[in-house]
Chains A and B, each alone.
Chain A
């Protein structure tokens, strides 16, 4: 058996797939979105080096797309897993793309023609940008193939769009197929790498911060999209139609918090906040940027130095997280305590960024049915601290945030570790 399954096409799944494909194994990579890339693709820059995230990720994504040993199934989900190490049977459902991947050239004529163009919130941009019903998530998508969202496409949802769907008329390659259907396939693999990633914490569960009620209150992922040159504002920091000048960051939103049953630290928020504070200050030099925190955890290589650099840039770190965000008239205020001063302040803000933590993905029933253990934090966990990629089930390994919040370097390390363990099973050929 030389076939292996990777579930999830974020940076963890990408790295594991490339490692195993390069070693000559046949990788089946299943991704539920129309493109691979995951959360890293949404990120503008990575800490602490401030490398452009797309610039370091895109070559790996393209590598997956072009690798002769990788079979990529996008818009696909694993629905059933049976068997054991060396001999798993995996059922996969492929949701219809309504665009023929082999014919689509990625030219974008369909998206230009779509009557819904610019009217549907783009999930990749955290809803800050708009797309049409036929779309690609972002220009570096892999595969670079358009997809039709059946919920918003007029032809698919109402049976009619103008006098003949403009997208179909615009497509020179005749790649649009409204009759496309769901397909099921069965894979036989020797090992499985679980790389399902994370869901960002929903800050609506902390109503005192007004997320959802006030457009000035943003999550960190939304700010990534605002910072990105390919994002909805082309890299400009614009909130509520204007450049913010009074910016507050709030640490530990949904992390280290018993009130939402997430007592754990999400490990990455201290650093992505430092990075975003730097980016906002860089893009809006006049802005007063304040970071309110409980503790700063800058433990990785070059992290403490980066924290110091950000402070040196004039970003004010105030100990004590903001307690509430509210409107008075048409102005937004934050209220918090500077715990070093022992003073309460109520200050006007025109941009509030919530460092929302990482939580376990929902909808992992099929993987959970394998019997993988979960910790109190609901993330998957292995049988021993010495086996951070193990699941306790021979032939099934963990990579990335499905096993707990971690940054990109740690994720890549774990992905390579999981790939190595999976390849050992494939090489030995049968159950231990």
Chain B
């Protein structure tokens, strides 16, 4: 926390910004929000006092998709300046109640929704999943995290993933009620201290069982564990990477016809930030009957759904059309029956957008693992 005292430009090395605008030009919300990340960087460099930012709601418009950091020709991380400003706001208590509640929930109950700790593994009750803490070292750990543990819609994703893993004969365990939030969103809401606390709690459990591989539901958790958890020796994979590997190893093949015209929405934390573009596409195109077409904006140019960076708890200025709605409308124009995605936040925001645009009858949002279960000829109801 000591380094928080250091001014942002020094801490994040922002002095070399050449104001080229590549960040703002690629920022998904820049076209509709007062947030101009290039200008924010300029202001942090030249202004002595950054308190003026504290009343600027648009700081919460950033989804932390990190397009700015990926494209910055000077190799800077503009998104970290946003997070840095949020850290200062959290430090001084200048944050909205919804954020306070989320942080509070994560602190007290290990999840930003503030749901009961002992209900974390309720979704898995009848699924006969090993307790990871009783596993030998070198096994596979499924890191479920909060959305998949508590949100009824995302619980389905967790269950389908379990179905797929079992179909492939994979031996794995979960931490159950001992698991706490990965902290990714917490860090992006500006609470580094709490992020570190959650990381330590999870690391303590990882240390006990030293898993060879940790598989995550969410690309956000994958990113945090892989790139931000210091000293973690395990391989960290998003489920799409792991399932793709199972196909390679001949443990999994999709043989049931799923006649459907679909497109795929790249989650920012999976695609742009971690370069996982091909695996989800290879999984879904290996399912017989699937007709796959790409969004015009796909892969490195994918459009963020606005679900990340604390946006599930704090709307920011929330101007203009939601990008998830843009996504749904683009997909309808392409004539697909479903958007496939591989991130709990994308799933929720896109599904909301289907409802707010009144298109429930025309298009579905399906998680990649739900599609995989169909390709295996299984249904959830008959499982577990």
The answer to whether A and B interact is yes
Contact check, B25 vs A336: say whether CB atoms are below 8 A apart: yes
Bound-complex Cα distance A281 to B356 (A):
46
Contact check, A210 vs B71: say whether CB atoms are below 8 A apart: no
Q: From the candidates B25, B75, B330, B333, name the one contacting A337 in the complex (CB within 8 A).
A: B25
B8–chain A nearest beta-carbon distance, Å: 20
Q: From the candidates A208, A326, A339, A346, name the one contacting B38 in the complex (CB within 8 A).
A: A339
- Chain B CB within 8 A of A321 CB: yes
- Chain A CB within 8 A of B30 CB: yes
Q: From the candidates B20, B75, B297, B333, name the one contacting A320 in the complex (CB within 8 A).
A: B20
A104–chain B nearest beta-carbon distance, Å: 48
With A210-B301, A326-B297, A339-B38: A344-B30 Cβ-Cβ less than 8 Å = yes
Q: From the candidates B27, B75, B297, name the one contacting A328 in the complex (CB within 8 A).
A: B297
Contact check, A258 vs B297: say whether CB atoms are below 8 A apart: no
With A321-B25, A326-B297, A344-B25: A339-B19 Cβ-Cβ less than 8 Å = yes
Contact check, A328 vs B38: say whether CB atoms are below 8 A apart: no
Q: From the candidates B24, B27, B71, B297, name the one contacting A259 in the complex (CB within 8 A).
A: B71
Q: From the candidates B23, B27, B73, B330, name the one contacting A258 in the complex (CB within 8 A).
A: B73
B40–chain A nearest beta-carbon distance, Å: 11
Task: Report the nearest B residue to A260, measured CB to CB.
Answer: B73
> Can you list, as one digit per residue, whether each of B65-88 has a CB less than 8 Å from chain A (1) or not (0)?
001001111110000000000000
- Chain B CB within 8 A of A199 CB: no
Contact check, B73 vs A335: say whether CB atoms are below 8 A apart: no
Contact check, B21 vs A323: say whether CB atoms are below 8 A apart: yes
- Chain A CB within 8 A of B4 CB: no
Contact check, B21 vs A320: say whether CB atoms are below 8 A apart: yes
A422–chain B nearest beta-carbon distance, Å: 38
Q: Which residues of A contact B333 (CB under 8 A)?
A: 329
Contact check, B296 vs A336: say whether CB atoms are below 8 A apart: no
- Chain B CB within 8 A of A283 CB: no
Task: Report the nearest A residue to B36, measured CB to CB.
Answer: A342
Bound-complex Cα distance A339 to B73 (A):
16
> Can you list, as one digit per residue, whether each of B284-320 has a CB less than 8 Å from chain A (1) or not (0)?
0000000000001101110000000000000000000
- Chain B CB within 8 A of A387 CB: no
Task: Report the nearest A residue to B26, measured CB to CB.
Answer: A323
Q: Which residues of A contact B36 (CB under 8 A)?
A: 337, 342
With A258-B75, A329-B333, A339-B19: A344-B24 Cβ-Cβ less than 8 Å = yes
Contact check, A256 vs B296: say whether CB atoms are below 8 A apart: no
- Chain A CB within 8 A of B39 CB: yes
A307-351 contacts to B (CB < 8 Å):
319-329, 335-339, 342, 344, 346
Q: Which residues of B contact A329 (CB under 8 A)?
A: 296, 333
Q: From the candidates A258, A327, A338, A339, name the one contacting B74 in the complex (CB within 8 A).
A: A258
Q: Which residues of A contact B26 (CB under 8 A)?
A: 208, 323-324, 335
- Chain A CB within 8 A of B18 CB: yes
Task: Report the nearest A residue to B302, measured CB to CB.
Answer: A326
Task: Report the nearest A residue to B18, measured CB to CB.
Answer: A294
B44–chain A nearest beta-carbon distance, Å: 16
> Can you list, as one digit per residue, whether each of B119-156 has a CB less than 8 Å from chain A (1) or not (0)?
00000000000000000000000000000000000000
Task: Report the nearest B residue to A318, measured CB to CB.
Answer: B21
Q: Which residues of A contact B75 (CB under 8 A)?
A: 258-259
Q: Which of B18, B39, B70, B301 counts the most chain A CB atoms within 10 A?
A: B301
Bound-complex Cα distance A344 to B296 (A):
19
With A207-B300, A208-B301, A258-B73: A323-B25 Cβ-Cβ less than 8 Å = yes
- Chain A CB within 8 A of B212 CB: no
Task: Report the nearest A residue to B24, measured CB to CB.
Answer: A337
> Can you list, as one digit per residue, whether each of A122-166 has a CB less than 8 Å from chain B (1) or not (0)?
000000000000000000000000000000000000000000000
Contact check, A336 vs B21: say whether CB atoms are below 8 A apart: yes
With A327-B296, A329-B333, A337-B30: A259-B25 Cβ-Cβ less than 8 Å = no
B17–chain A nearest beta-carbon distance, Å: 11
Q: Which of A252, A326, A346 counts the most chain B CB atoms within 10 A?
A: A326
Bound-complex Cα distance A47 to B196 (A):
57
Task: Report the nearest B residue to A255, measured CB to CB.
Answer: B73
Contact check, A324 vs B73: say whether CB atoms are below 8 A apart: no
Bound-complex Cα distance A128 to B300 (A):
26
B81–chain A nearest beta-carbon distance, Å: 16
Q: Which residues of B contact A282 (CB under 8 A)?
A: none
Contact check, B38 vs A337: say whether CB atoms are below 8 A apart: yes
With A259-B73, A323-B26, A344-B30: A339-B21 Cβ-Cβ less than 8 Å = yes
- Chain A CB within 8 A of B31 CB: yes
Q: From the candidates A294, A326, A342, A346, name the one contacting B20 in the complex (CB within 8 A).
A: A294
Q: Which residues of B contact A342 (CB under 8 A)?
A: 36, 38-39
Listed A/B pairs (9) with beta-carbon separation below 8 Å: A207-B301, A258-B74, A320-B21, A324-B301, A327-B296, A336-B22, A339-B19, A342-B36, A344-B25
Query: Which residues of B are interface residues toward A (Cβ below 8 A)?
Result: 18-27, 30-31, 36, 38-39, 67, 70-75, 296-297, 299-301, 330, 333
Q: A326-B301, A338-B21, A346-B31 are in contact. List 12 more A-B contacts (CB 8 A).
A: A208-B71, A208-B301, A258-B74, A259-B73, A294-B19, A294-B73, A295-B18, A323-B25, A323-B67, A324-B25, A329-B333, A336-B22
Q: Which 8 A-B pairs have the closest CB atoms?
A: A320-B21, A323-B25, A258-B75, A323-B26, A337-B21, A336-B25, A327-B296, A337-B24
